[in-house]
Amino acid sequence: MHPDLDFLHLLADAAAKETLPRFRANTTVSNKLQGGFDPVTEADRAAEAAIRDLIGDKFPDHGIMGEEYGSEGLDRDYLWVIDPIDGTRAFISGLPVWGTLIGLYHHGRAVAGLMDQPFTGERFVADESGTFYRGPDGERQIRARDCGGLAGATLFTTSPHLFSPAEFERYRSVEERVNMFRYGCDCYAYTLVAGGHADLVIENNLQPYDIGALIAILESAGAVVTDWSGGRPEQGGNIIAAGSKAVHEEALALLGG
């Protein structure tokens, strides 16, 4: 059974009940990484648990890959890919650009996805029928834009400090050619590309749950998302998303794809 968009909305509503009351509430932060900082909060864990419970009840034969509670059934036809709070650093800093990411793969290919930002009241959801936005300014189907080329593009990356020296040089070769660049929007940047407000996102070292939900949102809106070699993005890695094929090709050539 193929889940519909109503079920994705149900999952997002359940997650929001756990995340929103804890946002800007001085929630406890733990560090998952020795020798660095990889934060996790009670909100991350509670939201993922709520999502997983609903999936398990409705679709017990589906697999799940989640950031906080690991994976089960990775070889099943349907696989849910969950990041309960993408942008935990933004979450604990009070910055409302984090989001709950819920993606669905079928035979390894992204077929549906949702990004929910409950504080701003914005939700982006997609399947093969298109990409749809719900927010304070109404509900509508959205499409990516074609800005014509890098010279007219708006580029996002979470932080240039996340790139290795070699990756940074490749990234900078793109940044130097765009019209405008901005830092720090996490998953929200990808939805801006899907909605036709920005043109390019370039990031590195993503996990599947960092990008899985966003693939359908981008592709169903007419955008292009691949790794830096031009391959499928479902397994994460170094990722580029562009509003048009022309911008994607131009940027990918500079990244060495």
- CA gap 78, 156 in Å, rounded: 31
CATH class of the domain defined by 5-141: alpha beta
- CA gap 216, 130 in Å, rounded: 9
- The ranges of the chain annotated as CATH 3.40.190.80 are 150-255
Report pLDDT for 1: 53
Residue pair 182/200 in contact by the 8 Å Cβ criterion:
no
- The ranges of the chain annotated as CATH 3.30.540.10 are 5-141
Report pLDDT for 100: 98
- CA gap 130, 141 in Å, rounded: 7
Report pLDDT for 35: 52
Sheet holding 138-141, edge to edge: 70-72, 63-66, 78-86, 99-106, 109-117, 122-127, 130-135, 138-141
Report pLDDT for 41: 83
Report pLDDT for 33: 44
- The separation between CA 206 and the C-alpha centre of its own chain, rounded to angstroms, equals 10
Region label for 113, one of left (φ > 0), alpha (ψ between -120 and 50) or beta (otherwise):
beta
Report pLDDT for 13: 98
* 3-state SS record for 169-209: HHHHHHHCCCCEEEECCCHHHHHHHHCCCCCEEEEEEECHH
Using a CB cutoff of 8 Å and minimum separation of 24, what contacts does 144-147 make? Answer: 144/193, 144/194, 144/195, 144/196, 144/218, 144/221, 144/222, 144/223, 144/243, 144/244, 145/196, 145/199, 145/243, 145/244, 146/243, 146/244, 146/246, 146/247, 147/179, 147/199, 147/243, 147/244, 147/247
Report pLDDT for 25: 87
- Low-confidence residues of the chain, pLDDT below 50? 33, 37-38
Report pLDDT for 37: 43
Report pLDDT for 3: 78
CATH of 150-255, one of 3.30.420.40, 3.40.190.80, 3.40.50.970, 3.30.460.10: 3.40.190.80
Report pLDDT for 206: 97
